[in-house]
Chains A and B, each alone.
Chain A
C-alpha cells in the first residue's frame, strides 16, 4: 500500500515533470527559432538542464521510432486484405502509401510483389473553360473539354494493357465517345517492347509526349500540326496497328527507336480518320522514329520520324504520303523549349495527273516556370497549297490551307492536380480575315 502510494506520487511527479519539461521544450523550440545564440552554455546549472533536455530528446526519438515500428506492424496485418481493385496510377501520396510488409522478410512476399493478380489503375483527366473570339460566326462560349478515362493494368511481369476512353464534345453540341487508345504491350526488356492495338503514332515529339490530357500540356491546346482530327488536325496521329520500340545500346547518346505498321489514316469525308476495323486498302502505313536523349544533358531530346502510307479514295486514285518530322526539345522542372518541323509530301493530284506537293509546318514553344506560374509563348505555322490533292480538296476533309500565328499565355498550377490557363491567340489564315481569341481553361487530373 505504501509502495503503491509512493509509486502514485512518483508517477504524478514524473508526469508533472514531463509536463513542465514539455512546456519548457516547447518554449525553447519557439525561442530557439528567434533568440540569438548565447555563449554561456558552460554554466553548470544550465548544463545539467541541457543534459536533461538532450536525454529527453533522445527518449522522444526512441519513442517515435517505436511508434513507427508499431505502425509498420499494424499496416502489415492489413496488407493481406488489399488485393486487386481500382487504384490511382500516379506515385502514391502519403495517404495512399503502399501497405508495408511484415517485419520478417519472406520469399512469399517477393512472389506476391511480382506476381499479384491484375488490377486496374484508373486516372481521369478533364478540362472546362470559356472562349471569346472576334472571328466571324463564332459566339463566345463556355465549353467543356474532353473527359479522359485512362486505364492501365499489368497482366503479367511482361504484359500490360493500356486503355483510354474519351468523352468529347462535338461541334453540334453532342458528346462523342471514342476509344482513343487500346494497346496490349509486351515488354521483353528495355530494348524491345511490342505493342498491338490502337495508339498514338510516334510522328514527331508532341503527339506521344502529351497525348490527350490537357493538364499535361503547358498550353490550352496543341500546335496546329498536332491538332487531333476533331479539332481540324490533318496528320495521322492515331494508328491501329503494331508497334515496337526500345532503347538502342549507345552509351551516352541515349538512342531510342520506334517502328510502327498500321492501317493509316482515312481522308474520306465523313469517315473516321482512324481505321479501327477496316482499312481502305491493303497497303499499310509505316513509321520509323529515332531519337536521342543524351545523358550529358538530361532534358534534351533530338530526333526525327518518317511516315509513309498510300491513301486510296473513292475514285480509286492512290496518293503516296510521306511525312517527315524533326524535333529538338529541352525540358526540365523550370524550362520548356519545344521546336518541331515537318514536311508532308503528297503525290498525285486532284485530277489524277502526276504531281508532287509539299506542306511545310513548324512550331516553337518556350515557357519558364516561376513558382506556380508558367508564362509561355508559341508560334505555329503550316502551309498547305491550294491545289494540294489531300489537304486542298474539300471532298477529302477539311481544307488545311495556310495557318500561322502567335500564342501567348499563362499557366497557374493551383496544386499538383489542377491548373488554370489563360491564353491569347492570333490566327492568320489564307483567304480569311485574321482573328483574335482569348481562352481560359481549368484542367485537372484525378
Chain B
C-alpha cells in the first residue's frame, strides 16, 4: 500500500474513532428524572426516586397512583436508570418485577415505551407519570425532579 494511502486510511480511522467517542459521550449524557409539568412535587432524592421506580412507593402525596414509565431495553437512558437507581442489569430487573408481581407486592410493572419521544408525550399527557429523559430532550413542558448520574 502506498504511504499516502496508508496515511489517509489512518486519518480516516482517527476520524471514525472521534465519531465513536462522540456517540459514547452521548450515551453517558446526563439523564433527568422527570414528571408532568402540573405535578407539584418538589425535587426528589435518589432514594425516593429509587423507591418509586421499584414499586415501594406507589402514590403521590395527594394519593394519586404513580404511573412509572421505563424505556425499552435498547435505549441507553435505561442503562443509566438501572445502574444508578436499581443497581441491577436488565435480567435482574425483569426477575425483580416478575417476583414482585408473584408475591403480590407490586400490582403492575412499569409501563415500557420504545423511544424518548414517546416517553415525553406520555409524561406530558399523564399528570401522575414519572419517567426519565436525556437532559438535552428536557424542555418547559415537563419538570425535572432529579438529575442522574
Name A residues whose Cβ lies closer than 8 Å to a Cβ of B.
Answer: 24-25, 27-29, 31-33, 35, 37-41, 43, 46, 49-50, 53-54, 57, 68-69, 71-72, 75, 89-94, 97-98, 100-107, 109-110, 113-114, 121, 123, 150, 152, 154, 157, 160, 162, 183, 185, 187, 189-190, 195, 199, 208-209, 211, 213, 216, 247, 295, 298, 332-333, 413, 416, 445
Q: Name the prevailing secondary structure of the B interface residues.
A: helix
Determine if A208 and B103 form an interchain contact, defined as CB atoms under 8 angstroms apart. yes
Determine if A190 and B57 form an interchain contact, defined as CB atoms under 8 angstroms apart. yes
Determine if A46 and B12 form an interchain contact, defined as CB atoms under 8 angstroms apart. yes
Asked whether any CB of chain A lies closer than 8 Å to the CB of B40, the reply is: no
Partner of A121, one of B17, B95, B101: B101
Q: Contacts A90-B94, A97-B113, A216-B99; is A41 near B121 (CB within 8 Å)?
A: no
CB closest residue in chain A, given B15:
A50
CB closest residue in chain B, given A191:
B59
Q: Name 29 A/B residue pairs within 8 A (Cβ), A-sorted.
A: A25-B16, A33-B20, A35-B13, A38-B14, A40-B10, A41-B15, A50-B12, A53-B12, A68-B114, A68-B115, A89-B101, A90-B109, A91-B70, A91-B110, A91-B112, A94-B73, A97-B114, A100-B115, A101-B122, A102-B121, A104-B121, A109-B122, A123-B98, A123-B102, A189-B58, A211-B103, A216-B99, A298-B87, A416-B95
Nearest Cβ on chain B to A197's Cβ, whole angstroms: 11
Chain B residues with CB under 8 Å of A98's CB are 111-113
Partner of B13, one of A38, A69, A445: A38
Q: Contacts A97-B72, A189-B59; is A35 near B10 (CB within 8 Å)?
A: yes
Q: Contacts A32-B17, A190-B57; is A162 near B121 (CB within 8 Å)?
A: no
Chain A residues with CB under 8 Å of B88's CB are 333
Chain B residues with CB under 8 Å of A187's CB are 58, 107
Q: Name the prevailing secondary structure of the A interface residues.
A: mixed
CB closest residue in chain A, given B17:
A32
Determine if B11 and A72 form an interchain contact, defined as CB atoms under 8 angstroms apart. no
Determine if B95 and A100 form an interchain contact, defined as CB atoms under 8 angstroms apart. no
Roughly how many angstroms separate A211 CA and B110 CA in the complex, as a whole number? 22
**Which of A43, A98, A195 has the largest number of chain B CB atoms within 10 A?**
A98
Partner of B7, one of A40, A333, A445: A40
Asked whether any CB of chain A lies closer than 8 Å to the CB of B84, the reply is: no
Interface flags for B63-107 (1: CB within 8 Å of A; 0: not) read 101010010111000000000000111111111011101111001
CB closest residue in chain A, given B124:
A105
Chain B residues with CB under 8 Å of A39's CB are 14
Determine if A57 and B11 form an interchain contact, defined as CB atoms under 8 angstroms apart. no
Determine if A91 and B97 form an interchain contact, defined as CB atoms under 8 angstroms apart. yes
CB closest residue in chain A, given B70:
A91
CB closest residue in chain A, given B19:
A57
Determine if B87 and A332 form an interchain contact, defined as CB atoms under 8 angstroms apart. yes
Roughly how many angstroms separate A208 CA and B104 CA in the complex, as a whole number? 9
Chain A residues with CB under 8 Å of B114's CB are 68, 71-72, 75, 94, 97, 100
Q: Contacts A35-B10, A40-B10, A160-B107; is A97 near B15 (CB within 8 Å)?
A: no
Roughly how many angstroms separate A110 CA and B127 CA in the complex, as a whole number? 7
Asked whether any CB of chain A lies closer than 8 Å to the CB of B139, the reply is: no
Asked whether any CB of chain A lies closer than 8 Å to the CB of B39, the reply is: no
Chain A residues with CB under 8 Å of B98's CB are 89-91, 123, 445
Partner of B93, one of A40, A72, A91: A91
Roughly how many angstroms separate A69 CA and B101 CA in the complex, as a whole number? 32
Determine if A295 and B47 form an interchain contact, defined as CB atoms under 8 angstroms apart. yes
Which residues from 1 to 15 on chain B have a C-beta closer than 8 Å to any C-beta of chain A?
A: 7-15
Partner of A103, one of B8, B73, B112, B121: B121
